[in-house]
Structures are given as C-alpha cells and as structure tokens.
Structure 1
Amino acid sequence: MSDTPVIGVLALQGDVREHLVALAAAGAPAREVRRPEELAEVDGLVLPGGESTTISKLAVLFGVLEPLRARVRDGLPVYGTCAGMILLADKILDPRSGQETVGGIDMIVRRNAFGRQTESFEAAVDVRGVGGGPVEGVFIRAPWVESVGAAAAVLAEPDGHGVAVRPGNGLATSF
C-alpha cells in the first residue's frame, strides 16, 4: 500500500459512482471493490446507499462478505451511508429474509424508518464535530438508529432519532 490511503467503495449496488466522484473531488485515491482481492488493496472503505438486502446478498455471491467482516473487525476504517449504515449495524430490527450485515458497529437500526420512497426528503442536519453549519441530508427510505452500545456515539439525532453514529474508526449516516 502507498503512503496515500486508497479508499474503496463497495461496488455491488447503489450510489457507487456518487461516492467515487465525491472522493475524487476531495483528492482521495478511490477504487471500486467487488472481490476479496480488491478489498485487500484498500486502506478504508465506503459502503454506499442503495438496497441493503441486495447488497448483502451480492456480497455473499461475490465472496466478499466474510473478508469484509474480518477487515472491519480488524479495524478497517469504514463509512456507511443509508444502506451502508444498515450493513454496518450489529442488529437490524426488521431484516428482510436472508439479509445479513457486515456488523462492526454496536447499534440497532430500523430499515426504512422514515417511510417509503414517496416520503423521501432533504433536511439540514447538525452533526456534532462537523464545522461550517448543518450538512444537507437526503433521506431516501432511510434507516434510523434505535440504540447504540457504549463503544458508539450518536452525532446527530433530529427529532430524537439517531441519523449519524461514530464508533472508533468508523462512521455511519442515514443520509
């Protein structure tokens, strides 16, 4: 691995391109990750928004779920957005049949907590530790955090529901 961290984006389904564009705009070398050998070449990983059940089933099919679990358990820095938040949760309240998680964040999430696709919305979100005012959050069938364990901190909770969580070297947002 080089001196400049390479950030992977789990490229099985979802907002892969959007995350690659954002990472490039921030000056971060980024690449798509679909297979275990690609996962082994990155220093951090983004789990994008999309459909969490589909992503988990494809992770099994591509043989990357178990290596991903191991890397996260071993301290790989990760950021999960929307479906990525669901994938990083240790527990889902309402999983779909056959849905698995990567785990790694001691939290319980509720899928589609803000409602169906037609109830999607954008909102300004104050996130503790992020300067410059609120960030614009896009909530599309987004989860919320029901509870976190001692190793995780809720960074944003509009209306009393956690939408941003930081555990050690990770981050997960509903948006």
Structure 2
Amino acid sequence: MSPIIGVLALQGDVREHLQLLAELGALARPVRRPEELDDLDGIVFPGGESTTIDKLSRAFEVREPLVARLRDGLPAYGSCAGMILLADRVVDGRPDQQTFGGIDMTVRRNAFGRQVHSFEGDIELTGIDGGPLRAVFIRAPWVEEVGEGVEVLGRVEQGEAAGRIVAVRQGALLATSFHPEVTGDDRVHRAFVEMVRERS
C-alpha cells in the first residue's frame, strides 16, 4: 500500500514536496482543512514564512486538529519554516507566534541572516547513505539546543556557522533547516517515506 502523505498547503513551496513524494510512491496531497487530516499516514510542513503559516493554520481551523494528530504520533517532516513549526521553543519569533511543537528543541528564526545571506553547502546526514547532501539554506533557522530525546542528524561543516545543528529527529518527527526539495536530491524525502511506512 502506498502511504498517504499530506503537505500543509497554506503557504510556501508546496508543489515541490508533493512532486517528490509522488515520485517516491506516496499518495501525496495538499492539506488545508481539518477533514483532510483524517486518513493521513504522514505530513510535510514546507518552507515558507513560519509566522504566516501559523496564522493561516488558525484561520483555516487546521491548527488544533493538526497538533492533536502530531501528539497521537502522526509522522511529520518539516523543512526550514517547517522545522520552526515542529519546534517546542522559538527564539527571535514574533510575540504572538505559535508552533505545532513536538520536537524538544529551541530553534532560532532567520539564524543565518536575511535573504541575501542564503547559501548552499554540503552536509553529512546520519542515516542518509550516498555521501554528503547539497543543502540550500534560505533565511534558514538553526537549532540552538535539543532535549535528551532528540537525535542530531546533521551540522553545518563550514563557515562562521560551523557546528550549528541543521537536521534532527525525535521519534516520528524529522526536521531540516535546509530545503532538499529544491535540489533534486530525494534522499531526505525517501527517508521520511520509509519512516511513514514503518509507522503504518
């Protein structure tokens, strides 16, 4: 059976995630409303603007049911803004900003700087075979600290940010600071689809 994996389609680079998931054999579909969560086996939170996605999730009344599904063990993957949305704590967020939570970590918004400071770099990821991943960072967050139950999968390896955490996993929740959906490298999504298959 192909797993049913939603992509939260309120804002951000939704299409790229849907395409990659479909290529990997998942039944991929956009999610905007509470009823679209019901039969999902997993969900992806795309890059975009975390504060906008937060506000729209409340406007579309999908936030609370989504948080409930995550607490019940729904596997989720978040890239960039999606990492912020999965964090239990956010630094440099807006005062009214809420996350969906689930990963015991503190994330700093726009940690690498503004749009002009976007960059690419090679990242070695634990559990991802085939050599380093080309990682694209666009106004990206990084992880300031993690709790005991969080596995650090990858860190920046060069430049002023060397050593900063940019990929983590806690149980069925996976998050990266970068955007694997824009490089054509499907290994992160492949790992997530396998996580979903194991759970379902």
TM-score per shorter chain, which class? over 0.9
Superposed CA deviations along residues 4-50 of structure 1, whole A, max 9, x for unmatched, are 21000000000100100111111211000001100112110000000
TM-score by length of 1: 0.97
1:97, CA displacement in angstroms? 3.4
Correspondence for 1:111: 109
Structure 2: how far apart are the matches of 1:170 and 1:101? 14
Structure 1: how far apart are the matches of 2:148 and 2:38? 29
Measured on the aligned residues, the alpha-carbon RMSD in Å equals: 0.8
Structure 1: how far apart are the matches of 2:14 and 2:105? 24
Structure 2: how far apart are the matches of 1:32 and 1:41? 13
Structure 1: how far apart are the matches of 2:141 and 2:23? 27
Aligned 8 A contact 2:2 2:25 in 1 = no
Q: Identity of aligned pairs, percent?
A: 65
Structure 1: how far apart are the matches of 2:101 and 2:20? 25
Higher RCO, 1 or 2 (CA under 8 Å, sep at least 6)? 2
Task: Give the length in aligned residue pairs.
Answer: 173
Gaps of 5+ in 2: 157-161, 179-200
- SS, match of residue 156 in structure 1: strand
Superposed CA deviations along residues 46-85 of structure 1, whole A, max 9, x for unmatched, are 0000000000000000001111111111100000000000
1:102, CA displacement in angstroms? 0.1
Structure 2: how far apart are the matches of 1:127 and 1:138? 14
